[in-house]
Structure 1
Amino acid sequence: MENLSIKLTNIQHSFGTKELFSIDALSVYQGDRIGIIGSNGQGKSTLLKMIYGELTPDSGSIQKENDFHFFQQISEVDEEINYENIDWELMGRFFVPKNQVNTLSGGEKTKYRLTQVLSGYEAGLLLDEPTTHLDQKGIQTLIEELRYYYGTLLFVSHDRTFLNQLATKIWEVEAGKVKEYSGNYDEYCKQKELEKLENNRAAEQFVKEKTRLESAIAKKKAQAEKSKQVSIKKKQQHIRPDRLSSSKQKDTVQKNIQKTAKAMESRLLQLEEKKTLGIQRAITFPPSKTLELHNKFPIRGADFHLEKGGKCLFDHCDFQFGVGKCIAITGKNGAGKTSLLNSILTDEAGIILSPKVVFATYHQMAYKITGTQTVLTYLLQQTEYKEPLIRSILHNLGFSQLEMTKPIDRLSGGEATRVQIALLFTRPSNVLILDEPTNFIDLKTVEALEQLIISYQGTVIVTSHDRYFVERVADEIYTIENLRLQQR
């Protein structure tokens, strides 16, 4: 028999005027490993804080049968936390240098805080986006450490590799509800696809039944009206008494037809409406003759040497990026990925660019959108593409027709991020530069970004620690090792 770890009952919680949660009943059992996913702003972090006890729901109860450690996504390093019991061996495997905390990078601080949380054992563990800022080696080290954790694990993550390696259940947080799926992320996707197929079959059946009933009702009403007219005409004539019974029979037939029509109308009202879930179609970007690149390798490095802050990042290395390819650059934190992108953008010594290269860039969180024009108008003002294509890009990024008419100065942070991604693909360019584009965006946006990159006809250079994302979009993968770009 499974032992209960957490039980949520009749949870109601709002943020301002927005209802975040309405949960009837939800249970977690000892040994569960639950990955929590959902769009930005759905309340995933709030859910963890309520389970931990940092927040109290507006109503309902949370029953906990064991204590929990909690890794919060945004927090400063406190060196005093668990200092006596710190696992220095794990700190070493995370490659955190023994420097002053204020000198550590963002990724190193995340590793430091993770080590503090994992150094002391509790029967429950809550992790909120633990892979943010971690390089691939750091993510793999964390996965290996958590494989041997046998308590109850709940974690919020947008990293699909992390979800696949650790989750045995998925909680999908959407529209105030939490729905549980068995298995890891890939198995969740299969179940969601099956749900979509079943829903669309039900939607087709609904349309057929609705059409059939509406047609039958119309026919019955027409029959009833015809019978009524015949009956009125007969009554107006001088009919012998022995033939009145025939007229009465016709009145009865008319009433039965009307009764049948009303029964059908009742059935029509009781039909549960099902709407077809849309299938995301690939976007086709129209080719631009003015931006067409004829150079086979529009971006090259020749004896490229780069030093930053007295540290050598690249030592006289050569590389060449092919036209129309998606190039992924990976490497540990501090290896020089962002510095390489900046060198390409600024055409530094050792970088050779085709004269026709036109860049469009995406830097995570580097946006500020002001103005009162709608999302659609804002994008149309900055592109040569036609409105149908812009609508398609916005639709793929999760904007409804109504949301496209929302003023840009009223966008949430997540919505503004999606507009920034849309803007990247609407500006005339033949080379996209994307620096860690999957940080802080939800899975639906990540998957939409993947489709846009795959559809884009130019050259793409992207840095990312998200292994799943890289394998989905990249034609060529390079790792920064030994002050060189090494192709995998």
Structure 2
Amino acid sequence: MIQLNLTHLTKIVAGEPLFTLNQLTAHAGERIGIIGANGTGKTTLAHIIAGTDTDFTGQRTVTAPVTLVPQIAPTNGRSGGQSMLDRVRRALAQRPEILILDEPSANLDDEHQRWLIGQLQHFNGLLLVISHDRELLTAVTTQIWSLADRVYTTYNGNFADFITLRDQEKRNDLDRYQQEQRERRALRQAIQARHEKADRIRKGSRHMSEAERANSKSMREQNAGKMERGARALKDRMNRQKVAGKPREVAPLKLVATDLPPVTGKYVINVTDVHLRRGKHDLLDHVQLRIKPGERVALAGPNGSGKSTLIAAILAQRPGIRLAPSARVGYFHQDMTTLPTDQTVWQVMRRVTALDDNRTRQLMGAFGLKAGFYDRLIGELSGGERVKVQLLAILVSASNLLVLDEPTNYLDLPALQALEDFLVGYPGTVLFVAHDQAFRQRVATRVLTLSDHRLVDPQRAAQGVPATDLPRLQFEYDQLMQAPELDTQRLREIRDQIAALKSAPN
């Protein structure tokens, strides 16, 4: 039974279309994931479906009451994760026919993420989930509504199925583009060949006598004209062809060690027998932690186990904690109030970046902040867009130690992928907290677990991509290949080192 039908719907904001859709239909019992970049209108669509936003054109038909659990709500002194859990529990207890959840897994630890997935898998009504959580979307959804270029597209299956289909579409688009380019090259070559043949016909053979040349002039001109008409026909055919744009691929920015201040010493962070409390409550006993330059260390554990408290103690260099004197810390925690709302995005980035303008723009583009964002005021951005600016301000700074407290919350999927790529290739040291398990697994070279007042350090229980010299070597190789004069000896040396690193066992 159809419970939701949106037809020819357009939402206008500040005189511009935020998004348009021809038709979106949802049936009872379906579980739909709504995905798209920050600021593109996913939450707005949720409010239209719920009936709290009526400023749109088109038709909305909803056959049952809608319960909406918003992303942002008063926390009443509780953590963001605890507040969201309370609101989700209250909503489920109402047994709604239609339930919309906006970023329900943000700030939830691993245990509560599993609880949420289990609850939603057994939800009997129509469920719509706005999320960037890949594990949640894969485990729960039966359909994906993807918002891109201001248009919604429907995909059957869960998020993993969507990724497979999207990647296939990208490959098909690239194949079509390459085929069109081959065809156009062939047409251009055929046109050029006919023009050249027409010129040769007009000139005639160099072995002709003057009499032969004069007697054959009319015939040669007639044949050359046929060649010219054939060339024009081919050119008209080429001009009538619909030319697809080249599929866009954002190349990740590669930093090298020379972009960062050098680190001296064996350890960047050294924690020796530290005891941490929050108020009257013991959090961690006898903490021992050493982090070497180049490591990417994740802190995992339940909400309230002390992850953020440990980070705060490290940054404050409490007794028993030492940072290398050469450490330059870039600290991220989601507090968008620190951004100047009366400045533009580019003004903020120019003030903090240690990179040149071109490389700064390249990294901004990878996170979805393209040229259209440069002149926008911070105060005009959505919450997710402000998170990107705040995070990027740390990533482009002259920091050799990144301390990131929940950097993945509220990032859209392209930005999440860009952050993964950036950190995997980052030549400095990273200490981070992230509840996104897929993100931890790809980025971390070591995962430390906070449990039962202890910090468990498995040392070699790494799940992520090991820190190596590979990004630096590949960057140097690229630079040498673009140099005016090729240093073939150095190229061979770097190529051999890259091959050795790629073939080495993990």
TM over 0.5, yes or no? yes
Partner of residue 347 from structure 1, selected from 285, 310, 317:
317
In the alignment, structure 1 residue 326 sits paired with structure 2 residue 324: no
Partner of residue 339 from structure 2, selected from 365, 368, 374:
368
AA of the residue aligned to 1:113: R
CA-to-aligned-CA distance 1:256-312 (integer Å, 9 cap, x gap): 656544543443233222233244445432223983334333212211012222222
- Aligned residue in 2 for 1:237: none
CA-to-aligned-CA distance 1:347-395 (integer Å, 9 cap, x gap): 11121222222211112134414777873x7645545544554343233
Measure, in 2, the Cα distance between the counterparts of 1:272 and 1:149: 47
1:25: how far off? 1.8
1:110: how far off? 1.4
CA-to-aligned-CA distance 1:181-203 (integer Å, 9 cap, x gap): 22222222222211111111111
How many residues align? The count is 449
Q: Is the partner of 1:5 in helix, strand or coil? A: strand
Between stretches 290-299 and 7-16, larger displacement belongs to 290-299
- Aligned residue in 2 for 1:28: 26
Matches within 5 A, 1:8-157: 8-56=6-54, 58-76=56-74, 102-157=76-131
Q: Is the partner of 1:318 in helix, strand or coil? A: strand
Measure, in 1, the Cα distance between the counterparts of 2:406 and 2:303: 12
- Aligned residue in 1 for 2:144: 170
Contact 2:69/2:100 (<8 A) preserved: yes
Q: Is the partner of 1:23 in helix, strand or coil? A: strand
Between stretches 218-227 and 353-362, larger displacement belongs to 218-227
1:396: how far off? 2.3
Measure, in 1, the Cα distance between the counterparts of 2:227 and 2:193: 10
In the alignment, structure 1 residue 412 sits paired with structure 2 residue 378: no
CA-to-aligned-CA distance 1:51-86 (integer Å, 9 cap, x gap): 222222522212223333221212347xxxxxxxxx
- Aligned residue in 2 for 1:194: 168
- Aligned residue in 1 for 2:439: 469
Contact 2:6/2:60 (<8 A) preserved: yes
Q: Indicate how the Cα distance of structure 1 residues 128 and 407 shifts in structure 2: closer, same or farther if over 3 A, else same.
A: closer
Q: Is the partner of 2:391 in helix, strand or coil? A: helix
AA of the residue aligned to 1:48: A
- Aligned residue in 2 for 1:84: none
- Aligned residue in 2 for 1:308: 278
AA of the residue aligned to 1:117: A
Structure 2: gaps (5+ residues)? 205-213, 459-506
CA-to-aligned-CA distance 1:294-352 (integer Å, 9 cap, x gap): 43332122110122222222223222223211111122222222121111111111212
In the alignment, structure 1 residue 271 sits paired with structure 2 residue 226: no
Cα RMSD (Å): 3.2
Between stretches 152-161 and 203-212, larger displacement belongs to 203-212
Q: Indicate how the Cα distance of structure 1 residues 182 and 292 shifts in structure 2: closer, same or farther if over 3 A, else same.
A: same
1:487: how far off? 3.4
Matches within 5 A, 1:252-263: 260-263=230-233
Q: Indicate how the Cα distance of structure 1 residues 275 and 134 shifts in structure 2: closer, same or farther if over 3 A, else same.
A: same
- Aligned residue in 2 for 1:428: 398
1:122: how far off? 2.5
Q: Indicate how the Cα distance of structure 1 residues 229 and 9 shifts in structure 2: closer, same or farther if over 3 A, else same.
A: farther
Contact 1:170/1:184 (<8 A) preserved: yes
1:45: how far off? 0.9
- Aligned residue in 1 for 2:153: 179
Q: Indicate how the Cα distance of structure 1 residues 212 and 399 shifts in structure 2: closer, same or farther if over 3 A, else same.
A: farther
Q: Is the partner of 2:257 in helix, strand or coil? A: coil
Measure, in 2, the Cα distance between the counterparts of 1:119 and 1:407: 42
Q: Is the partner of 1:288 in helix, strand or coil? A: helix
Q: Indicate how the Cα distance of structure 1 residues 108 and 416 shifts in structure 2: closer, same or farther if over 3 A, else same.
A: closer
CA-to-aligned-CA distance 1:415-458 (integer Å, 9 cap, x gap): 44333333322222221100111112211111111111111111
Structure 1: gaps (5+ residues)? 78-101, 231-239
AA of the residue aligned to 1:25: Q
Partner of residue 180 from structure 2, selected from 206, 214, 222:
206
Q: Indicate how the Cα distance of structure 1 residues 268 and 42 shifts in structure 2: closer, same or farther if over 3 A, else same.
A: same
Measure, in 2, the Cα distance between the counterparts of 1:22 and 1:193: 23
Measure, in 2, the Cα distance between the counterparts of 1:312 and 1:451: 37
Measure, in 2, the Cα distance between the counterparts of 1:429 and 1:404: 25
Measure, in 2, the Cα distance between the counterparts of 1:30 and 1:406: 44
AA of the residue aligned to 2:258: S
Q: Is the partner of 2:305 in helix, strand or coil? A: coil
AA of the residue aligned to 1:347: Q
Measure, in 1, the Cα distance between the counterparts of 2:35 and 2:354: 36
Contact 1:20/1:175 (<8 A) preserved: no
Measure, in 2, the Cα distance between the counterparts of 1:463 and 1:423: 18
Measure, in 1, the Cα distance between the counterparts of 2:66 and 2:341: 42
AA of the residue aligned to 1:457: P
Measure, in 1, the Cα distance between the counterparts of 2:376 and 2:148: 24
1:204: how far off? 1.0
1:116: how far off? 1.0
Q: Is the partner of 1:291 in helix, strand or coil? A: coil
Contact 2:342/2:379 (<8 A) preserved: no
AA of the residue aligned to 2:48: M
Q: Indicate how the Cα distance of structure 1 residues 74 and 382 shifts in structure 2: closer, same or farther if over 3 A, else same.
A: closer
Contact 2:256/2:426 (<8 A) preserved: no
AA of the residue aligned to 1:14: I
- Aligned residue in 1 for 2:479: none
Q: Is the partner of 1:307 in helix, strand or coil? A: strand
AA of the residue aligned to 1:42: T
AA of the residue aligned to 2:120: L
Contact 1:181/1:188 (<8 A) preserved: yes
Measure, in 2, the Cα distance between the counterparts of 1:70 and 1:227: 77
Measure, in 2, the Cα distance between the counterparts of 1:302 and 1:472: 28
CA-to-aligned-CA distance 1:83-106 (integer Å, 9 cap, x gap): xxxxxxxxxxxxxxxxxxx34333
1:484: how far off? 1.6
- Aligned residue in 1 for 2:454: 484
Contact 2:32/2:127 (<8 A) preserved: yes
CA-to-aligned-CA distance 1:119-139 (integer Å, 9 cap, x gap): 011222211111123222222
Q: Indicate how the Cα distance of structure 1 residues 372 and 134 shifts in structure 2: closer, same or farther if over 3 A, else same.
A: closer
